[in-house]
Every structure is written in C-alpha cells, then in structure tokens.
Amino acid sequence: MVEIKVLTDILGRNEAQAAENRKRCDAAGVACVNIMGSPGAGKTALLEGVLRAGNAPRIGVLEGDVSTTADAERLAALGAPVVQINTDRFGGACHLSAAMVGAALPSLPLADLDLVVVENIGNLICPCEFDLGEHRRVVVASVAEGAEKPLKYPLMFRKADLVVVNKVDLGASAADAAEMCDNVLRVNPAATVLPASARTGEGLDSWTEWLRTLGSGRK
C-alpha cells in the first residue's frame, strides 16, 4: 500500500512537470520529440543524418546518456545546440524524467529553434513510461537487434508515433528488415514505420521530412 502510494506520487509529479515542459515548448513555437531505443540502435547516427541534410529543421538537442558526452560532441560538431544530461549524477537512472528535461530546456535557444529533440537513454524498457512533455515519440530499432524485438518489448513500440527501422543494410537478408517492420505493425498498427540506414542514407530524406513537417508552422 505504501509502495503503491510512493509510485503514484512519483509518476504524478512527472506528469505535472511534463505538462510544464510541453507548455514551455508550445509558448516558444517549438515541437518536442522524444527519441528512444536500445543502445547502439542508431539514434545519434540518424540525428547526424538530419543535421547534415540541406533542408534540416533548426534542431536543439537534449542528449541523454548515463555517462560521457560522446554523442553530444558528435551532434554539436554539426552545429546543433546541445545540452548533455548525464544520469549518473542522478544515481545512474536508466531513463530520462520530465524534471531532467525541465532543468535542461532553459539552456536551449528555443526562440531560434523549430524542434527540441530529446535523445533518451539507450534502453528498450522503461523510458517509454515517462512522459517528458514531448509532442511525438520516435523509436529507433535496428535490424541487427533481431526482427522479433517489437514482439518481446511491445510497450515501447505501442506508444510510438514513428518507428525507424535502422540498419536495413545489415540484415542477414532483406526479409529481416521486412519482418521487423511487420512486427512493429503487429503491436502498433497505427505507427508510421520507416525503413532506414544511417550508413547508406536510405530513408534519411523521409526521416528529415517527418521532423521538418513536425517542426514547421509553430512560430
């Protein structure tokens, strides 16, 4: 009973802070995207692809990692304003919370941005249980993880607006990528599924366009 009450309080407080974050982004005319997925799925690489595109939206990044600023440095090198959130300072949390995002948002130049992209901690389980104040949720899943992963970790995929199936060039056969896309749709028929490869550039135009459309017309 006591434990349930504590959990309710934590999630309730997260919801309230998430609403604050969303309000702050709305007031600045900025869309917020929460990108989730396993470590190594290609979240940072796909953002690099967007930042290199000629028609990229103006993106500010909140970079979540347990430790290091390695990914933040990759994105900052391409000109994006980036704020690092290292969760080892918060006890090594395996997900980002709305409070962490709320604390980092004022460090981004929201007036000059179309989008705030939050790259969540690499983890296929609990990040999807925490609303950060985002407008859309993206899951990046790579073919190299195994085509069955959407079936084994359905909650993450069920809550996604867009699922980018990355590394389609790495499958043992083209059937692996197709099977993974099918499995995403089995757990979430409403999801938009985008086969892509950050390495070969396949799907990057559509990925950039999806973000550009989301961020446009809010100012």
Q: Which tokens belong to 117?
A: 């992209």
Q: Which of 28/75 has CB closer to Mg ion?
A: 75
Least separation in angstroms between residue 45's CB and Mg ion is 8
Q: Which of 40/102 has CB closer to Mg ion?
A: 40
Q: Which of 91/217 has CB closer to Zn ion?
A: 91
- Residue 84 binding Mg ion, by CB under 5 A: no
- Apex 199 CA angle, 203 and 86, nearest 5: 100
Query: What is the x/- site pattern for Mg ion, positions 62-81, by CB under 5 A?
Result: ---------x----------
Q: Which of 179/203 has CB closer to Mg ion?
A: 203
- Residue 48 binding Mg ion, by CB under 5 A: no
Q: Identify the residue among 38, 44, 84, 120 touching Mg ion (CB under 5 A).
A: 44
CA distance 189 to 110: 34
Helix 204-215 with 43-52: angle, nearest 10 deg? 80
Interacting span for Zn ion (CB under 5 A) from 28-36, 40-48, 123-131, 157-165:
123-131
| Interface of this chain with Zn ion, residues 78 to 97, rule: CB under 5 A | 94-95
Separation in Å, CA 174 to CA 119, 170, 196, 207:
28, 9, 12, 20
CA distance 41 to 123: 10
The letter for the amino acid at 73 is E
CA distance 150 to 104: 31
Contact residues for Zn ion (CB under 5 A)?
A: 94-95, 126
Report the interface residues with Mg ion, using CB under 5 A: 43-44, 71
